[in-house]
Every structure is written in C-alpha cells, then in structure tokens.
Structure 1
Amino acid sequence: MNAELRMTVPVARVLAALVADPAGDHYGMALMQASELPSGTLYPILARLTEAGWLDKRWEEVDPSEAGRPARAYYRLTPAALPVARQRLAELHEQTRQASTHSVTKEATA
C-alpha cells in the first residue's frame, strides 16, 4: 500500500465516506452522494486509491438484463488502509482546526 497518497479535499471526502462504514461495500452513486462529488471527480480518485492499494474493488455478480441496470463495482478500504486513512483524516482535521483557530486569533488581535 502506498501511504504517500496526496490528501486533497476531494480525496478526504471519499475516505471519510469509506471510513464511516469500513465493513460496507460502497458503489459509485452512494459514494457520490456521501462525498458530494461529481462522477468525473469521484471515479479518478477511486482508481488512484485502488491502484495505490488503499481499496479493494469487486464487481457485483448480477445479470444486468434481470436487474435492469449494469453491474456495480463495489469498493472497500483494505485492512491495511483503514488505520492509515483514519490517521490521515485526523491529521487533516487537526490542521484545519489549528488554521481556523489561528485565523480567529489573528482577526481578534487586529
């Protein structure tokens, strides 16, 4: 697993959605809703996370003609990625909290 993944706001949103239910199987539309990201942003992130070893991807076993829709790809954080994702999200939260506190303190003294 590549732990040096660049943590952008969209990546953090996707990871937060996955961490919220780490045992769940997540598919694109549900992740788009949870992360509030469009498909053009979400799917490249999912591809990068999968390539970096953060996600397992599996295809739903369904007959598309019977289901009336295409088979879904399901994503889940790997066991190794879960603690790293939680740590990286906590670090990001702390950084934004500190930046926010610093900004408020700076404004109060101005």
Structure 2
Amino acid sequence: MSRRPVELTQDTSFALAEHLDRAGSAASIGSVGDANDNSLMESTIGLFKTELIKPLRPWKTLSEVGLAAAEWVDWYCHHRLHGEIGYIPPVEHETNDDSQTIKDQVTAKI
C-alpha cells in the first residue's frame, strides 16, 4: 500500500495553511463531528436535496443530475434573493462588500 496520497494531502494542507497565514486568514477547522463547522454546508445540501433532487426524481443519467446541479448552484448564488442580506443575491452582496472593503482600505491609506 502506497503512502504517497497521504503525503500529498499533508503537503497540500501545509501549503494551504501557509497561504492562509500569508493572507492574514485562518482556516475554519474544528474537531471531528463538530456540527458548527458543518452547519452551513448541511443546510445548503438540505436545500439542494429538497428543492432539486427529490422533486425531480427519478433521474435518468448522471449527466442530467450534473447539469441540473450546475444550474441550481448558479441560481443559488446569482439569482436567489436572501432576506438576511437585504433581499439581494449572495453574489451581489459579496460584490458590494468587496467594494466597501476597497473603499475603506483606500480611505485608511490617505
């Protein structure tokens, strides 16, 4: 049994940690089974299953599921109105937030 895949994973993990450190960020990594780290992903997967996978089954091909999943992700990020961020799509909120961050950085340097 080869150990190389484990080493690659460890190398990647160290490289990611170093990259995040240089960027002034920290990874969100908790203990095994920590629901707080997984709650957003579990919620998103739940919506994905409820809104797309279950209502349209039975699926005929894996390609059909892949295309539908890509379309759902596009809708989820670019068109879905989210109440917690002012009833705008998440990507618009992120763009606005990035623009404000840049303005704040420019103002702080003057």
**More strand per residue:** 1
Normalising by structure 1, report the TM-score: 0.33
Normalising by structure 2, report the TM-score: 0.33
Specify which structure has the bigger relative contact order, considering alpha-carbon pairs within 8 angstroms and separated by 6 or more residues.
Answer: 1
**More helix per residue:** 2
* Higher alpha-carbon Rg: 2
